[in-house]
Structures are given as C-alpha cells and as structure tokens.
Amino acid sequence: MTLLIYGIINSVILALYALGFSLCYGISGIANFAHGAFYILSGFVAWNFMNAAGLPFYLAAVLAVAVTGLLGFLFYWALLLRIRGVPLAELIVTFAAGVGMLELLMWRGFYGMRYSLPLFVRGGVEIGPVAVDYQRLCVLTTGVVLVVLLWFFVHHTRIGLAFRAMAQNERTALSIGVESDWIGSLSLALGSALAAVAAMVVLPLGMMESAIGLEVLIYALAVAIVGGLESTVGMVAGSFIIGFGQVAVARYISAKWMIIAPLAAIVLVLVIKPSGLFGKFKELEERV
C-alpha cells in the first residue's frame, strides 16, 4: 500500500519535472537543457517576492510562474533565435545557459536551510495504513490537472493546434500562416512556466538549493528517453515506470540505490525498444 501511494506520488513529481521539457521539445524541437535551472530559479524568485517584497505566498507563486515564463520567452529571442535549427548548438547553448544560471545562483549564496517555500496546507491524512500529508496530495492533484489541461489546450485551442502543427511539420505549418519563431518562443515560455508550476508545488516538500536544478534536469531527461518525447502518454508512462522503480528499489534494496532506477530503466528500454516506449516512427529515425 505504501509502495502504491508513494509510487504514484513520486511518479507524478517526475511527470511534473518532465512536462515542460517534453512539451517544449515536442513542439519546437528545442531540447531545453536549461529546464532544471528555470525550475530552481522560479523557486528563488518566489522566495524573494515573499521575503524581500513581503508578498503572501500565493501571490508570490503566481508572480514567479509569470516571471519564469517571461524569462523563457526572452531566452528564445535573445539566444536561441540565431542558432535555430542547429540542434547541437541549441543543446550546448541551453545547457551552458542553464549551468551558468545555477552557478550564478550558487554564487549569490542561494543554498542552505533558510531557503524553503511554505506548504500550501499543513497536516495530513491517513489512507488506510499509510499517512500522507496534504502537500503531497496537492502535488498529485496539480499533476493530474495540468496533464488534463494541457491535453485540452493542445487539442482544442487555436494556439494549441498551432503548436501541434509545428510539431508535425514546420514547413507546412509556416505555409498556412503559423509563425514559427513566435510559436517557438511561446513553447519555451510555456515550458519554463510549467517548470515553475512544478517548482511551486514540489519545492515546499524539501529545501531549495541550486544543485537540485541538475537533478530535475536528469529526471526530466530520463523520463523523456524512457517514454519517448513528444507523446504525452509516453511521458506519463515513463514517469510511472521510473517513479515506481525508484520507490521499489528504495523499499526492497536500499534508499542509497534509488538513483540507479532511472539509469536501469533507460538501458532496458533502449535495448528492448530504442524509440522509447511510446515513441513514434519519426522519432525512431531521429534517435537511432
């Protein structure tokens, strides 16, 4: 029972990490390696809004999401525009920007016990024999709501449909009047805003330090590789495999070896089905 409940929660956390990353990659083909940096940056933005500007947490959280989204948007126009379409240059630039941001945060002294975000709700509830605190349930709800909202967004709104058009064929999308740079920068903005949302609900569970940024990136990558990028089902499945794998390893072997789970999952999936569990044919060509 514990395994089931904490497995689900852990998986949803991983899905939240990966959501923005795989959305952004799926749409514009930009593997945003600065994803983890945006995640942790939003945490510190929220912290500063609360402690330096004295705003209440809810307002600070909303503002932090907005600011991070805006940063993602500017990131595209300032840096990525000029190297668009060269995947490896994009990769190196986003990675360098991400690491640079993390190092700057570290240098400014943003680590240690005093940096943490408050919980939404205190207390907890007992589901059968297992005690779960409300914050973790919050994470669960947020994750489910976000996935549903996103699905609705990309299937039933104009911008969402433009996103999917870009993902399927950039040139055709261009010819029917979808502006590729505009959509690309929006996808990056949305991706980083999603990272910020994830940060707002997950960060209160622990303390903030810039090293978490890399961890988030690693998990997002692992989920993306296992599940196959660009498909939402694959992403959810990937995060459940890794999430349950981790909890199982922690329970039956030792918590020390938890980190092995994503690696083992990646290698297994690559051996069995190199395009990722739910990858499409187009992806197979790209990856292998």
Partner 1 sequence: MVATSVHRRKKRLDRGIKARTDTIFLIASWKDMLYLLLPRMLPVAILLVLPVLVKGYWGKVLVYACIYGLLALSWDFMAAGGLFSLGQALFFGLGAYLAGILNYYLHLPPVVTVPAATLGGGLLSAALLGSVVRLKGVYFAMITLMLPLLFKKVIETTGAFGGTHGLPSLTPFPSELLTAYLAVGGFLGSLFIFRRVINSDYGLVLRAIKDDDRAVMSGAINIYGRKIQAIFISGAVGSFAGALMTHYYQFLGMSVFALDYSILPVAAVALGGQGTFAGAAMGSLILVPLSESLRALGGLRIAIYCGILIVSIIGFPEGLFHYLARKYHQFERVVEVK
Positions in the binding site for partner 1 (CB under 8 A):
31, 33, 79, 82-83, 87-89, 91-93, 95-97, 99-100, 103-104, 106-107, 214, 217-218, 221-222, 224-225, 256-257, 259-260, 262-263, 266-267, 270-271, 274, 286-288
Q: How far is the CB of 231 from partner 1 (least distance, A)?
A: 15
Which two three-digit tokens encode residue 105?
Answer: 């945060």
CB of 79 within 8 A of CB of 93?
Answer: yes
Among residues 60, 31, 196, which one has the least CA distance to residue 120?
60
Q: How far is the CB of 74 from partner 1 (least distance, A)?
A: 14
Distance of CA 208 to the CA centre of its chain: 16
Q: Give 130 or 214: the residue with its C-beta nearer to partner 1.
A: 214
CA 21, CA 192: separation in Å to the nearest integer? Answer: 8
Q: Give 87 or 112: the residue with its C-beta nearer to partner 1.
A: 87
Q: Give 101 or 201: the residue with its C-beta nearer to partner 1.
A: 101
For 70, list phi and psi in degrees, rounded to 5.
-60, -40
CA 67, CA 55: separation in Å to the nearest integer? Answer: 15
Q: How far is the CB of 97 from partner 1 (least distance, A)?
A: 6
Q: How far is the CB of 114 from partner 1 (least distance, A)?
A: 19
CB of 39 within 8 A of CB of 45?
Answer: no
CA 86, CA 90: separation in Å to the nearest integer? Answer: 6
Q: How far is the CB of 252 from partner 1 (least distance, A)?
A: 17
Q: Give 17 or 49: the residue with its C-beta nearer to partner 1.
A: 17
Triad 219, 19, 263: Cα angle to 5°: 20
In this structure, how many other beta carbons lie within 10 angstroms of the beta carbon of residue 176? Answer: 8
Q: Give 164 or 273: the residue with its C-beta nearer to partner 1.
A: 273
Q: How far is the CB of 156 from partner 1 (least distance, A)?
A: 30
Q: What is the 3-state secondary structure (H, E, C) of 231-269?
A: CHHHHHHHHHHHHHHHHHHHHHCCHHHHHHHHHHHHHHH
CB of 155 within 8 A of CB of 214?
Answer: no
- The 8-class DSSP code of residue 118 comes to P
Q: How far is the CB of 223 from partner 1 (least distance, A)?
A: 11
Q: Give 176 or 271: the residue with its C-beta nearer to partner 1.
A: 271
Q: Give 135 or 275: the residue with its C-beta nearer to partner 1.
A: 275
Region for residue 230 given its phi and psi (left: phi exceeds 0; alpha: psi -120 to 50; beta: otherwise): left
